[in-house]
Structure 1
Amino acid sequence: MRSLLQFLARHYFIFLFLALEVVSLILIVNYNNFQRVKFLNSSNRVSASIFEASSNLTNYFHLRKINDELAAENAELQTKLQKLLEIDNLSQRDTTINPDTTYQFIPARIINKSVNKQYNYITINKGRLDGIEPDMGIIGVQGVVGMVTNVSDHYSSGPTILNKRWRVSAKIKKNNYFGSLSWAGLDHQYAQLNEIPFHVELTVGDTIITSGYSSIFPEGIMLGVIENFNHDSGANFYKIQIRLSTNFKTITHVDLVKNNFLEEQINLEDKNTND
């Protein structure tokens, strides 16, 4: 306490000067219109800058929550869109319309992935307790990502398109010729479309989508576009290079595709195999 009093006594003139300055400023602002307006404008700008910085900081720390909310909304819209497409297709064939959609979409976030290996996998933050099962497809905003093969209570994982062991049933959007899309293990931006006969008309830039001839993905999910193609003499099929639509380096959020009639389809197709 004595030290504080000594400090104040030694530097009282500084505190007195500051106090007089504050009183002077208050008097000037209160009794002069021009200075008052200038002061209020300046204080408003400072306050606005502080509030803006605070808002930006708050928004930054809420980005994950916002992204998760957007992913959930996107999954819900995907489910509704798929339902509308199925109802439209059924109504065009004059059959009984079933309002239950075949596919539904569950949002998830990527927590681990590989891109530059020969056999690349992805891990997501949803598992068995969230309704995730093996053989569910994984898609992103830009298109197909991979599929689920392993599931625990809280996580699931599986190969992406960038895995030499995995193939996707694909087709050319403009003419419906279908084949299989596979990855050669070279560049994460490109894959190959196989089994397209050489008599099919192709153009660079043609869109490649899922064919719908599997139990994993519905028809029409984006895969990529034709980058180039050629036909070797004597061969029956094209060599077609596809630029993948999904950027595996930057993707963070995905949707899992659940086929509500998967078991029924597998059981029926098993009977064909047994026959």
Structure 2
Amino acid sequence: MGRHGNIRGKALTALLFIVLEAAALFMVGNSDIIHRQWAMRGIIASRAALFGTAESINDYFRLRKTNDSLAETNAALMERLYQYMSLLPAQETDTSHTAFPGFELIPAKIVKGSVNRQDNYFILDKGENDGITTDMGVITDKAVVGIVDAVSAHYSYVISFMSPEMNISARLGHSGITGSLVWDGKGSRSALLSQIPLHTEIIRGDTVYTSGFSNLYPADIPIGIAEETEIVDGVSLNVKIRLLQEFRSLRYVNIVRNPSKAEIDSLAL
């Protein structure tokens, strides 16, 4: 009886060993499958990330091309608007506005610039080969950006409005009174309209426009909003102006060509 018990015990031990070996082999096999599955998932995730990055890069360059096209379209539309306004009879326009002269607009992109200095600048991707010369104005639909100071074959250097040497002839929308608009040096959206007669009624929130008393910029470009005023030497007013254009976000501008500039300059001498 003891002998049979020993045989039975050894058989059970052997059977248990076989079962455990089979379970171990099964787990190892499944582990390889799991490892392969995780590896495949990693490969798929890497491919997805790579393809997503590539598509994002493609989208970026497509967006740049779209922005360039939109800038050209915007310049053409602005030029047509100026031409249309200059042809309207006086009774069909606001009599406080000067008729738009025949300016030509050349779209350009800012490739370099500064907004944090005392003397700021922009470099544009248009130069002599594009018909750009010095002393051309640079604008957007809501700002006088500056004036072209130097040109090369493919680029132009622009003195920014955010520089002490720049001043613009501007007028108050309500009264039509003109003054000199300069950057106050305190921020990218603050300026000062000076030389305003003391008796002038200043309406807070009034829109300030280019006056048209310049052959560099078209008249009636809205450029800012009137805020506080201060009396200067008891004879004139300074008006704080909130600029409409955020210079920090500028990327596309229009260079202004005035075909009549040389003739006007010859008479002004």
Q: Is the 8 A contact 2:141 2:221 kept in 1?
A: no
2:64 is aligned with 1:69: no
Percentage of identical aligned residues: 35
Are the structure 2 counterparts of residues 127 and 89 from structure 1 closer, same or farther at C-alpha, using a change threshold of 3 Å? farther
Are the structure 2 counterparts of residues 55 and 101 from structure 1 closer, same or farther at C-alpha, using a change threshold of 3 Å? farther
2:108 is aligned with 1:104: no
What residue in structure 2 maps to residue 119 of structure 1? 119
Note the 1:232-243 alignment, pairs <5 A. 235-243=234-242
Amino acid in the other structure paired with 1:258: R
What residue in structure 1 maps to residue 214 of structure 2? 214
1:149 Cα deviation (Å)?
1.3
Equivalents in 2 of 1:141, 1:55: separation in Å? 33
The one-character-per-residue Cα deviations of 1:12-69 (angstroms, maximum 9, x if unpaired) are x99xx9xxxxxxxxxxxxxxxxxxxxxxxxxxxxxxxxx9998766433211110000
Gapped regions of structure 2 (runs ≥ 5): 1-28, 34-50, 94-99
Amino acid in the other structure paired with 1:256: I
Q: What SS does the corresponding residue of 2:240 show, helix, strand or coil?
A: strand
Note the 1:179-258 alignment, pairs <5 A. 179-231=179-231, 235-258=234-257
Are the structure 2 counterparts of residues 216 and 231 from structure 1 closer, same or farther at C-alpha, using a change threshold of 3 Å? same
Equivalents in 2 of 1:112, 1:125: separation in Å? 9
Equivalents in 2 of 1:53, 1:115: separation in Å? 32
Equivalents in 1 of 2:52, 2:140: separation in Å? 33
1:187 Cα deviation (Å)?
1.9
Are the structure 2 counterparts of residues 128 and 56 from structure 1 closer, same or farther at C-alpha, using a change threshold of 3 Å? same
Q: Which moved more, 1:53-62 or 1:201-210?
A: 53-62
Give the 4+ runs in structure 1 shifted more than 4 A.
51-57, 89-93
Equivalents in 2 of 1:89, 1:190: separation in Å? 36
Q: Is the 8 A contact 1:144 1:222 kept in 2?
A: no
Amino acid in the other structure paired with 1:128: E
Amino acid in the other structure paired with 1:123: I
Are the structure 2 counterparts of residues 236 and 244 from structure 1 closer, same or farther at C-alpha, using a change threshold of 3 Å? same
1:184 Cα deviation (Å)?
2.8
Q: Is the 8 A contact 1:140 1:251 kept in 2?
A: no
Cα-Cα RMSD: 2.9
2:262 is aligned with 1:259: no
Q: What SS does the corresponding residue of 2:264 show, helix, strand or coil?
A: helix
The one-character-per-residue Cα deviations of 1:108-153 (angstroms, maximum 9, x if unpaired) are 0001111111111111000011011111111124321111111111
2:150 is aligned with 1:150: yes
Equivalents in 1 of 2:63, 2:127: separation in Å? 23
Equivalents in 2 of 1:165, 1:101: separation in Å? 26
Are the structure 2 counterparts of residues 204 and 68 from structure 1 closer, same or farther at C-alpha, using a change threshold of 3 Å? same
Are the structure 2 counterparts of residues 148 and 197 from structure 1 closer, same or farther at C-alpha, using a change threshold of 3 Å? same
Equivalents in 2 of 1:238, 1:101: separation in Å? 30
Are the structure 2 counterparts of residues 159 and 54 from structure 1 closer, same or farther at C-alpha, using a change threshold of 3 Å? closer
What residue in structure 1 maps to residue 6 of structure 2? none
Equivalents in 2 of 1:215, 1:250: separation in Å? 27
What residue in structure 2 maps to residue 59 of structure 1? 59
1:227 Cα deviation (Å)?
2.2
Count of aligned pairs between the two proteins: 221
The one-character-per-residue Cα deviations of 1:83-121 (angstroms, maximum 9, x if unpaired) are 11111157979xxxxxx9620100000011111111111
What residue in structure 2 maps to residue 26 of structure 1? none
Amino acid in the other structure paired with 1:80: R
Equivalents in 1 of 2:185, 2:61: separation in Å? 37
TM-score by length of 2: 0.74
What residue in structure 2 maps to residue 268 of structure 1? 267
Note the 1:7-86 alignment, pairs <5 A. 58-86=58-86
* Structure (1 or 2) with the larger CA radius of gyration: 2
Gapped regions of structure 1 (runs ≥ 5): 1-12, 18-50, 94-99, 271-275
Amino acid in the other structure paired with 1:225: I
Equivalents in 2 of 1:264, 1:248: separation in Å? 32
